[in-house]
Amino acid sequence: MDDHTSAQCDLFSPENKASVARFPSAPALIAYRWPYPGLSGEDSARSSLAQSAQFVEVIALTIKRKQASVITDAEVKALLPADWKHILGRWVHATLAKWQGEQHGIQVEHVSHGDGGYHWQYRMADSQSG
């Protein structure tokens, strides 16, 4: 491959695209008029936003931006944009389902601990890792 062709391929690699991609701003929270049973209108809106495709994009971009070989859900949660953490409040998380990760070239693994606990671990799929 020519040097300029290789450089062009590098320019459009997932790592480079993730490094320049902008996080979507957290949307304005609009309280639900008909909240979920047991939740306020605001918490119902936060719960839905935490499960939205838009927030999945934020989680995936956070994972890609880190460019680590392996990253845990706790590490991703700490790196989420402040505006998203603020608007989601207690509903903030950094969990992707396996199918959601696959859509973004991210491998998702559930890691059990001996004491009964667990964590989620993410890594870029081979085709996405440089």
* Range 53-73 average pLDDT: 94
pLDDT bucket at 18, cuts 50 / 70 / 90: low
The residue that leads in pLDDT, 7 or 53, is 53
Count structural domains, the chain.
1
According to DSSP, the β-strands at 118-124 and 106-112 are antiparallel
pLDDT above 70 for 1? no
pLDDT digits (tens, 9 = 90+) for 64-122: 999 889 999 999 999 999 999 999 999 999 999 999 999 999 999 999 998 889 999 99
Distance CA 76, CA 95 (A): 9
Q: Which domain holds residue 12?
A: 3-128
Q: How far is CA 112 from the centre of its chain?
A: 21
